[in-house]
Structure 1
């Protein structure tokens, strides 16, 4: 009798802990395909929305990739993607191919390209923060620079 009470309490505590989980995209970003919308921090330029959409479509067209996030700031454009499991041995080659294709197709842009899961997760979190109208453009650009610095430190 006593053991069954402890088991029930343990199960209830476990379920209570799980129920506090927020249903945000970033929490599942590493497990499943999230397909986040491209983020445009500087929304004053109309042509940039088409640009980031074209960049995302360009990268998503690779058969080795299954998820892409694009964040366009004032000066920098962050492109992060997830590589299919069996293609992970060719990640450096894929990154080089993507960087070259982006530089050739969009020569006026400054790209930072990464397949790192942490960078992907940070880009998805930034995307979620940008949904909040109170999140300023200045904060978003600062966060984008921090993510790019993080990527450069990891390299």
Structure 2
């Protein structure tokens, strides 16, 4: 009986202490112009401090929002600057907007969900609204 209790306690401890945080596998979502967006997400996901990446693009603009590990919030400006430079270098034909703001990430997610119901002009206007929102908050 004691052995069964010990094995049960040990297994519960190991399960409870397991790390379910997928920091090595950042969540990513994309829409519109999949090759460009997928490449941008892959590029940003290479940063080991990035947890979650969202991106969306049209013909001229590429908007990327990402979330960093909690401990790296003090280095947020540095990380954002290096990612922006890296993305601009790899996508010179696009006007790149990079954000770490949760509001921008939520707006990108909302736009991705509504993308199928929007016309091209409405999509362009909504994307421009997100870009303006990012510039306004900085």
Pairwise TM-score range, normalised by the shorter structure: 0.7 to 0.9
Provide closer, same or farther for how the CA distance between residues 150 and 127 of structure 1 changes in structure 2, counting only shifts above 3 A.
same
2:117 alignment counterpart: 134
Higher relative contact order (CA 8 A, sep 6+): 1
In structure 1, what is the equivalent of residue 130 of structure 2?
A: 147
Contact 1:67–1:83 (8 Å) recurs in 2: yes
Q: Which has the higher strand share?
A: 2
Contact 1:64 1:84 (C-alpha < 8 Å) held by counterparts: yes
Decide whether the 8 Å contact of 2:28 with 2:53 is kept in 1: yes
Task: Name the TM-score, length of structure 1 as normaliser.
Answer: 0.69
CA contact (8 A) 1:34 1:67 kept: yes
- The answer to whether the 8 Å contact 1:74/1:141 transfers is no
Q: Which ranges of structure 1 fall in alignment gaps of 5 or more residues?
A: 1-32, 41-47
Distance 1:109 1:138 in 2: 18
1:103-114 equivalent positions in 2, closer than 5 A: 103-114=88-99
State the 4+ residue runs in structure 1 displaced beyond 4 angstroms: none
TM-score between both structures, scaled by the size of structure 2: 0.77
Partner SS, residue 108 of structure 1: coil
**Does structure 2 retain, via aligned residues, the 8 Å contact 1:38–1:69?**
yes
Listed as ranges, the gaps of 5+ residues in structure 2 are 1-24
Q: Partners of 2:105 and 2:26 in 1: how far apart?
A: 10
Match of 1:122 among 98, 107, 110: 107
Which position in structure 1 is the counterpart of 2:79? Answer: 94
Which of 22, 27, 30 is equivalent to 1:35?
27
